[in-house]
Amino acid sequence: MSALLCVVAAAVGFYVLVYYRVFRGGSCSRSVTLKGKTAVVTGSNTGIGKATALDLARRGARVILACRNKEKAEAAAYDIRRESGSSQVLFMQLDLSSFKSVRNFAENFLKTEPRLDILINNAGVMSPGHTEDGFGLAFGVNHLGHFLLTNLLLERLQQCGPSRVVTVAALLHRFGTIDFPLLASKKDLVSDQSTWHSFQAYCNSKLCNVLFTRELANRLEGTSVTCYSLHPGVIHTELCRSMSLWQQLLMMPFAKLFFLDPEGGSQTTLYCALQEGIEPLSGRYFSNCELQQVGAKGRDDALAKKLWEVSERLTSLS
């Protein structure tokens, strides 16, 4: 019996150590109120996007759920209004896989909303396929769609400063690469649509998120707009969404024990959106509600500038 107790105690101790040292995220506990402020959150009908939008609504912000699926987004808006007690939560159609949709969203938003204080580029995909404009899906949605959206809304952000742009990247940016000749020939940063290439495409797009934020900060230096990228943590709902049923069943016990729920996964996003005093860190990367070092490619200013210039051409901004 004593041996069994020792094994159980050791297992519990190991779990606590791993959970708190590796998987458990930080917490945004700031009591910031956002009455009179407006926030846009992309991909906010589910997961950490929805949790982020709920927190912002509870703080009094007017929250725009910028989502592709009208039915799911309106249901999410209803849930958030009910849970937050705020009536200032609404859906606006945005399909990041379509430049036309991004431009329509920006046009409608600028016509109807006088303020924009926080833009949260949260939506992301890790799937094969192509956008309406022929780009690889991960590159097109995770990077180009948000690049275009941010640029179209930038003037309004500057008018309402101090304001912030928060882009959800990932630790996997460290495995990303940017092959410009491949992009020119394939309209993508990977050469195939296999499962492995879909994973690599996701890593590449997350590197783009980090570099986009870095270059955006350089271009906004001296203005009242600051920007940040972040790793939200490992969220079991988001990870399992792209898995087959049997993979989900195998992963679920581990996910329940170690991975973050959507509320936990939203904390670093909220930290970057709300934390006072981090303005001098514009362009930097956060994880667990703390400043973190990015991979070497994520610190390459020349690469960031080139990606920006190429993205301008691809989205017809230049």
How far, in Å, CA of 59 to CA of 199, rounded?
36
**pLDDT tens, residue by residue, 258-294:** 556 768 899 999 999 999 999 999 999 999 999 999 9
Q: Are 163 and 224 in contact (CB under 8 A)?
A: yes
How far, in Å, CA of 169 to CA of 139, rounded?
12
The total number of structural domains that make up the chain: 1
Q: Given the DSSP bridges, would you call strands 62-67 and 38-42 parallel, antiparallel or unpaired?
A: parallel
**202 noted as active-site residue:** yes
| Per-residue pLDDT in tens (0 to 9) along the chain, 318 residues | 465 444 333 333 343 334 444 444 566 656 899 999 999 999 999 999 999 999 999 999 999 999 999 999 999 999 999 999 999 999 999 999 999 999 999 999 999 999 999 999 999 999 999 999 999 999 999 999 999 999 999 999 999 999 999 999 999 999 999 999 999 999 999 999 898 999 999 999 999 999 999 999 999 999 999 999 999 987 655 545 554 555 455 555 544 545 567 688 999 999 999 999 999 999 999 999 999 999 999 999 999 999 999 999 999 997
* pTM of the complete model: 0.86
How far, in Å, CA of 289 to CA of 185, rounded?
39
Over the Cα atoms of the chain, what is R_g? 20
Residue 195 maps to a domain: yes
Q: Given the DSSP bridges, would you call strands 163-168 and 225-231 parallel, antiparallel or unpaired?
A: parallel
Q: How many CB atoms lie within 10 A of CB 182?
A: 15
Residue 267 maps to a domain: yes
Give the residue numbers spanning the domain of 162.
32-235+262-314
Residue 247 maps to a domain: no
Residue 84 maps to a domain: yes
How far, in Å, CA of 279 to CA of 262, rounded?
26
Which residue in the list 202, 228, 271, 285 is annotated as catalytic?
A: 202
CATH number of the domain within which 195 lies: 3.40.50.720
